[in-house]
Amino acid sequence: MFENEDQNNFKDIESLKAAFQKMKKGQSHRALHEDDFEALIDHFEVYGDKENWQIACEMSTEIFPFSTALLMRKAEWLLAQNKSELALSLMEKIKNITPGDLDSLLLHAEVLVECDKVDDAIQLLKGDLEKFADADKAFILMELAEIYDEQTEFEKVYSTLKQVLEINPLFEDALVRMCFWADVTKKQDDCIVFHKEILEKYPLYASAWYNIGLLYQSIKNFPEAIESYENCLAVNSKFEYAMRNLGECFIQIKEYDNAIAILEEHIHVAKTEDVILETLAFCWEHKKQYAKARHYYRKASIINPEDDTIFYKIGETYVKERAWEKAVKSFSVALHIDQGNATYSLALGDCLLELESEEEAIVCYLNAIKQQPNEPAIWDALIKALYSFDYLEEALQQTEIAIEHCGDRVEFEYYRAGIYLALGKTKDAVLFFENALIMDTPKAKCLNKIDKDILLHPIFSDLLLRYKK
């Protein structure tokens, strides 16, 4: 049926175009009416035929000089050509022909804004507002809200949308926008009260319940947000965004079982998305059910195989299980996708360090440093690796280079003290250790990163005890 309809429409437009071409050449042709010209103008606009679009606008308004519809189409064409002043003159003519026409009023306001006459546009809309029925008033106020938005008068945007909903509480577009602007203007409490008033009249209004959930979630009142989302779902059990936001609220209060239940339900009623699968994996990970977490991470990776963060997260679950070899494989995949990611190089190096693959671990840390040379945590890892594998002179040298990049952090003073002690250079070790203790005594525990027993050494333990006293 629809195929036949499309074919008929195609035949009609081809017939109109043929008549239009004859008209342009001054040849005999079938009569073209107002709606014929509107169809032609639509066609030329859609297909980007600027020349015939212009000609159709000019010819049609010459033949039908008092047609509001065709004059408006010409004004729209003038706007598209950045001829705002000419469009404005045309809109004044239209206003005299059909005062009180909603579509022409809205276009007139748009043209005034394009002519940088914003105040005039606002006055035009406000001045004519009372002449219209409530249904039309709502559309005029929506246009007014758009203008306030462009002028960054956000308080007025919010109050205008509120006016729309006072006229028509079921105006969905205004309802959605009002919630956003309540966040921007920090009027969440006012907006919640207003929505509750709407719900007194329309208790089965799912979108209003959803909005209240959003507003409570915005101010971190998660129990109230949960109740609102549950009310929304009681009205509309397949309200997808309410499901995912409800899951997020459960996560915020660490009720992972409830989050899992609602997100798994979401999978069954909506198109499966990688972000939902990742959130489920996140929940299972926090329940320390790492195999189940990986199950959902892998399902997410099938949907989005180029998302390196998924493979990194899989690697992290293996790290928590101390399954270093499997973690290496996952981090390697992540790094293959994003070769410039220092975090992945660092994670891979940490696993290789656990596997005592000294050269490979050091290479990973050096690669991470190339990517982020001013990140102290990477230098810490490199120094630890060099110390662990007894490359003490190199560790000392890298500590000095780290200071050049990251500044004279007290941790590096402690590392130098520890390395000198391992080298048997007791005087240097004491000198650097005392200097570090003067700078920040509690930070001495950072030496545990490179050697968990080093603070038990008599030289360091005696000095540390003295400075603590």
Q: Which two tokens stand for residue 415?
A: 């590392």
CA atoms within 13 A on the CB side of 425: 14
pLDDT for 258-280, tens place per residue?
A: 999 999 999 988 888 999 999 99
pLDDT at 27 over 70: no
Q: What's the full length of the chain, in residues?
A: 469
| pLDDT number for residue 356 | 92
The backbone torsions φ and ψ at residue 407, rounded to the nearest 5 degrees and listed phi first, read 90, 175
Residue 396 clears pLDDT 90, i.e. is over it: yes
Domains of the chain: 187-270 (1.25.40.10), 271-372 (1.25.40.10)
Distance CA 29, CA 348 (A): 77
Whether residue 313 contacts residue 298, with contact meaning beta carbons closer than 8 Å, is answered with no
- What pLDDT, on the 0 to 100 scale, is given for residue 2? 35
Q: How confident is the model at residue 9 (pLDDT cuts 50, 70, 90)?
A: very low
For 159-187, the pLDDT digits (tens) are 999 999 999 999 999 999 999 999 999 99
Burial (CB < 10 A; 0-12, 13-18, 19+), residue 312, is: buried
If you average pLDDT over each of 54-58, 134-138, 163-167, which comes out highest?
163-167
Residue 67: the pLDDT is: 84
| HSE-up of residue 467 (Cα within 13 Å, Cβ side) | 19
Could you give the percent of the chain with pLDDT greater than 90?
A: 71
How sure is the predictor about 28, in pLDDT bands with cuts at 50, 70 and 90? low
Residue 433 has pLDDT above 80, yes or no: yes
DSSP structure string for 240-264? HHHHHHHHHHHHHTT-HHHHHHHHH
> What residue has token string 């038990």?
456
Task: Concatenate the DSSP letters of all residues of 48-103 into one string.
Answer: T-HHHHHHHHHHHHHHSTT-HHHHHHHHHHHHHTT-HHHHHHHHHHHHHHSTT-HH
Q: Which amino acid is at 191?
A: C
Other C-beta atoms lying within 10 Å of the C-beta of residue 123: 13
The region of weakest confidence among 100-114, 201-215, 426-440 is 100-114
Q: What pLDDT, on the 0 to 100 scale, is given for residue 324?
A: 97
Query: Is the pLDDT reported for residue 6 higher than 70?
Result: no
Average predicted confidence (pLDDT) for the chain = 91
User: Mean pLDDT over residues 299-327, rounded?
Assistant: 97
Q: What is the pLDDT of residues 320-369, one digit of tens each?
A: 999 999 999 999 999 999 999 999 999 999 999 999 999 999 999 999 99
C-alpha to C-alpha distance for 440 and 116, rounded to whole angstroms: 61
| pLDDT given at position 8 | 39
Ranking 22-36, 43-57, 402-416 by mean pLDDT, the lowest is 22-36
* Residue 5 confidence (pLDDT): 40
Q: Is residue 3's pLDDT more than 50?
A: no
